[in-house]
Amino acid sequence: MNTKIEEILNIWHKHFAEEANQYSEYEPSDIEYFVGCMLYNNFAFSKALDTLKTMDLSYDFLSACGNEYDVIKKMIADIQFVDEKESLIFLQNYIKEAKVKYTKPELYLLERLQYHVNAMAERYEKDVDVQRIDFENPLLKK
């Protein structure tokens, strides 16, 4: 894993190791998820869905992450690539490496992020832009 990312994760894992800094329903894998969201937002992918140009960090996380947030935000802002595809590969590798640390029940948020990132990767691979997404209720398709 990238050394800057390892440093970021270590800062927040150390911060959240103290029970007083944890929020309700805190899971250690939340840290990797929110760092992934920050990377996603930093890279500002042009082929992201209109509704997913940015990924919101939860209020619980933001209110509990302490003064380290500003330091980490700057560290993430310093991670730049010339090409969006390089950024995408970096983020995909980050998610894959982060998932190795956790059990299946702990991976919900990381898998959700991975699903969106992989769908976006497919748009890059096929060189298609998102025109419109139609969400359909599967029960109405009978």
Enumerate helices (H) and strands (E) in the chain, giving the number of each.
6, 0
Q: Which residue has the tokens 């950024």?
A: 87
Give me the DSSP letters along 98-128: HHTTS-GGGGHHHHHHHHHHHHHHHHHHHT-
The pLDDT of residue 129 is 75
The pLDDT of residue 131 is 63
The gap between the terminal CA atoms of the chain, to the nearest Å, is: 46
Write down the pTM of the prediction: 0.84
pLDDT < 50: residue spans in the chain: none
